[in-house]
Structure 1
Amino acid sequence: MFRLSIISLSFLLAGCLSLDPHYQRPAAPVPAVWPAQGTPPAATTVLADWQHIMTDSRLNAVVAKALTSNRDLQEAIADIEAAKALYGEQRASLFPTVDAELTQTRSRTQDAGVSSSATADGAVSSFEIDLFGRNRSLSTAAKETWLASESTAQNTRLTLIAETSTAWITLAADNSNLKLAQDTQKSAADSLRITQLRQKEGVASGPDVSESMAVYQSARASVASYQTLVAQDINALNLLVGETVPQNLLPGTLEDLSPKAIALVPAGVSSSVLLRRPDVQEAEHNLKSANADIGAARANFFPTLSLTASAGVGSSSLSNLFSHGANVWSFAPSLTLPLFTGGSNTAQLRYAEAEKKGLIAAYEKSIQSAFKDVANALARRATLSEQLDAQQQYVAASQRSYDLARRSYETGAGDYLTVLTDQRSLWSAQVDLIALQQTDFENRITLWQSLGGGVK
């Protein structure tokens, strides 16, 4: 009888209804192509994973360490495990809990004397048959919450890779600025020494020496400033990685890096690729969870059927329980119909529906934000190469102008003010070039991240 009851329950469970609204993914509220892309491509390009983007072996090793040791990522992974456990707990409500029990009772009365009884049975205690899919909807909601936490962790991973790479490039840029400041300080020291000698010879004036001293001290202050920034950059990188980065994995200057140290991802993709970004997937899983919550709220308006049942054997003595025991069973279904809840069920349903509307808006906004990220990165990419080339030509021209002014001054044909002006212009142009080179690398990282990283 007990086995037949379990079989019957299985059929009942198989026939449960679902009151979840039909889920349909909202249309992406963005154009099919990026503003700077032109005609849409014939097919979606597969983007390379981070190992193929961060091609410098040192940077590759640093990112790998960060993915192992970063505490934020470890916390996100723990959140996945917790959400998965909650899903398993909620899903357990879809199945009956079966307990086995063995009891023996011995008693004495004045009339009957000493008597004993023993029973052994299996029981289902207060199992709710999910006729209208309430528990199934709650289980679906918990599953989507778990999947959303996985997407959160993937987004944390993607952000960590981008931030670690950016911090590594920032350190390289500040190393370049430090070297430039040191070279400028050395050059200014030479100029100051020559100017002081020329003053003793009566060729240079006091203002020339003062101006030369000002350039030297300015360069000296910049050296100290960039030394601080380099130390702080290393501290920031160590925090991201979660451990001290070995010296051999730290970058030198930007000039020492290969132009392809960070590869440029192919951008010829449809905007539909954004649907696979982790943050967009997280928003959609949250939306699906809210959709299932509506089904659970709807089921609250319908009756619930609970079952308590048991089957086993009973005997007057424990020794005869499994040989001469008599069959015993009980079956106690219970039907509950909600008649008056003070508006609680209606309020829960309205709340679930309002939550879904809000999450639809959040999902659509996540796509729009992702589209903006890519469009901005592409817009910067479109002019960056030309700007870099122009800045390099400007630095070369400034270098020539400074060299000519210095030679002219040293031969007595020019004035020292022109030398100082050209020197400051050259220094400023070189600083701007380093900033542009840093922007070029960071733009490659941003473009890869905003497209969702290694899309498979």
Structure 2
Amino acid sequence: MLARKPDLLRPCAAGAALMLAAALSGCSLAPRYERPPSPVAATYPAPPAGVPAMPAEADRAAPDIGWREFFRDPRLQALIAAALGNNRDLRIAALRIEEARALYQVQRADLLPRLDATAGATRQRVSAAQPLSGQSGIRQAYQAGGAIASYELDFFGRVRSLSDAALAQYAATEEARRAAQLSLVAEVATAYLAERSFAEQSDIARATLEARQRALALSQRRFAAGTASALDVQDNASLEAQARVASAELARQRAQAQNALEVLTGTPLDAMAGLPDALALSEQGVMTELPAGLPSELLTQRPDIRQAEQELQSANAVIGAARAAFFPRITLTATAGSISPTLASLFEAGTGTWLFSPQLVLPVFDAGRNRAGLDLAQTRKQIQVAAYERAVQAAFRDVADALAARGTLQEQVAAQQAVRNAEAARVRLAGQRWRNGVTGQLESLDAQRQLLAAEQALVQARERRLANAIALYRALGGGLLEHGTGIASGGQ
């Protein structure tokens, strides 16, 4: 037993040296990260002249308002839930997270030594003519033990910088998934509103077509009785044909909008059991008034901005690895175990063996490879700085555009409602004048044309106002939470 002590103590000393070296390593040559200054104004532009600033109904910021609270239509809520569970783009974004997590774990594993258990056997025929052989015969050996192969002592932080870069990329991928969810919620809601708009306009066009078919039949009967002119018949025939064209066009647009909605939700709408009935655009109850806050708050509210910043931090960490390439690289190889000519005596006293082999590599001449690598890393960081600033500017414009349109669209809906009411009154008056023989039918027909256009314009104005509210909700970072109580959707 005493004969084994030297063989055991030496590997322990080598292991202690490894642990000490690992503890001393880990300094980083990466530049200190500083967030780039904001490339946008400190406040959002004032509303257009003549449009009063709208008070905010909500006391909470958009990211704190769940999409079920923001969208009140049960049918829309069901469609958004289906999209979050079935949409392929969102599924790909979630799988990208798993991919980035695995890559980070692979890179992070290089911070610690890799310990392998080894076992092997050799059998060799030796000739007496070979140098140092002594005599011919068959030689065999058995060995078992553990090994640490080419572990790099990270004195200058090369491995740690690469690990930090992979971690930042992992975080950026998570933010990309959140940004994809925000976009998906907004796209489903916008597509749903478009489908509802076409549906309502199609109903108006269909009702108009039926009314004009009745008017055409009446004018034909009156022409046959000699109480109407051929011009009256042709006017009614033209309006009836126009109504058929509008009805067919809106039916096509509604079908295409429904197809787009099915792609977003990932399932046919007819296959969704228990889908609630749709609400009219005037009954949606979308929260159209949200507190905008300050542009600086977008840096934490918008996942796409956080994604750009994480990618910038990753590029910053890669510079540390590129700088470390100019310094010596120290790697350690160590093995410890037993070796014996027979398997039965493999673990007996006196069979212990160990090897400790440090290696230092100092760059001397690499034809500018390391310098080019550092230049590449610094250039990529500048690219990410520009990408981050572009993301901030795009977010600022999204909010500013939505705020600029919010007041004007509300005024437009109110004005268009007044136009529709006026045209409806005009149709009634023109019809009375025609029936009383005061004027010809042409005035009544023109009033009907104007009423149809006003009703369709009112539906379109309501859709644009709701779509603008959705755009503002998304621009401010809303759509991650399912409920306003902090319950996250999509598995968060």
Compare 319-328 and 138-147 and name the one that shifted more. Answer: 319-328
Deviation at 1:118, TM superposition (A): 3.0
Q: How is 1:21-420 mapped onto 2 (pairs within 5 angstroms)?
A: 21-36=31-46, 45=61, 47-106=64-123, 111=135, 116-246=140-270, 249=275, 252=278, 254-255=280-281, 258-260=283-285, 262-264=286-288, 266-276=290-300, 277-420=302-445
**Amino acid corresponding to residue 446 of structure 2 in structure 1:** T
Measured after TM superposition, the shift of residue 454 of structure 1 is 4.2
Tell me whether 263-272 or 381-390 shows the greater mean CA deviation: 263-272
Matches of 1:3 and 1:394 in 2, distance apart?
Answer: 91
Partner Cα distance (2:392, 2:60) in 1 = 17
- Indicate if the aligned counterparts of 1:167 and 1:236 stay in contact, CA closer than 8 A: yes
Question: How big is each residue's C-alpha offset from its partner over 1:52-77, in whole Å with a ceiling of 9 and x where there is no partner?
Answer: 21221111111111111111111112
2-structure distance, mates of 1:377, 1:288: 30
User: Contact between 2:73 and 2:279, CA under 8 Å: does it hold in 1?
Assistant: no
Q: Would you say how many aligned residue pairs link Structure 1 and Structure 2?
A: 453
After TM superposition, the structure 1 stretch with the greater mean CA deviation from structure 2, 365-374 or 114-123, is 114-123
> Equivalent residue for 2:475?
450
- Residue 464 of structure 2 is aligned to residue 439 of structure 1: yes
Higher mean alpha-carbon deviation, 432-441 vs 80-89, is at 80-89
- Cα contact 1:314–1:325 (8 A) shared by 2: no
Partner amino acid, structure 2, of 1:443: N
Change (3 A) 1:118 1:176: same
Change (3 A) 1:44 1:272: farther
Give the secondary-structure state (helix, strand or coil) at the position aligned to 2:318: helix
Q: Out of 14, 19, 23, which is 1:14 matched to? A: 23
Deviates more, 1:405-414 or 1:310-319: 310-319
- What SS does the corresponding residue of 2:337 show, helix, strand or coil? strand
Aligned partner of 2:132 in structure 1 is none
In 1, the alpha carbon distance for the partners of 2:11 and 2:39 equals 56
CA RMSD of aligned residues (A): 2.4
Of 374-383 and 137-146, the range deviating more from structure 2 = 137-146
Residue type of the alignment partner of 1:254: A
What CA distance in whole angstroms lies between the structure 2 residues aligned with 1:17 and 1:393? 71
The separation in 2 between residues aligned to 1:223 and 1:315, in whole angstroms, is 93
3-state SS in 2 of match to 1:143 = helix
Provide the C-alpha distance between the structure 2 equivalents of 1:108 and 1:205, rounded to a whole number of angstroms.
120
Q: For 1:74 and 1:259, how far apart are their aligned partners in 2? A: 29
Alpha-carbon separation, structure 1, partners of 2:279 and 2:205:
13
* CA–CA separation in structure 2 for the residues paired with 1:316 and 1:121: 15
Amino acid at match of 1:157: Q
Corresponding residue for residue 5 of structure 2: none
Alpha-carbon distance, 1:437 to partner = 0.7
Q: Is the CA contact 2:157–2:320 (under 8 Å) kept in the aligned structure 1?
A: yes
More displaced, 87-96 or 428-437? 87-96
Deviations along 1:183-235, one digit per CA (max 9) or x if unpaired, are: 11122122223322332343322111111111111111111122222222221
Contact 2:292 2:476 in 1 (8 A): no
Q: Which amino acid aligns with 2:275?
A: L
CA offsets 1:251-288 (integer angstroms, 9 cap, x no match) = 64635x6241x333522422222113111111111111
CA 409–3 in structure 1, closer or farther in 2 if over 3 Å, else same: farther
TM-score w.r.t. the length of structure 1 is 0.93
Whole-Å separation in 1 of the counterparts to 2:374 and 2:125:
57
Distance in 2 of aligned mates of 1:124 and 1:392: 79
What displacement does 1:171 show? 0.9
Q: 1:113 to 1:368 in 2, by over 3 A?
A: closer
Q: Where does structure 1 lack aligned partners over 5 or more consecutive residues? A: none
Structure 2: how far apart are the matches of 1:47 and 1:36?
25
The verdict on how the C-alpha distance between 1:47 and 1:265 changes in structure 2, with shifts beyond 3 A counting, is farther
- Separation of aligned partners in 2, 1:137 and 1:265: 45
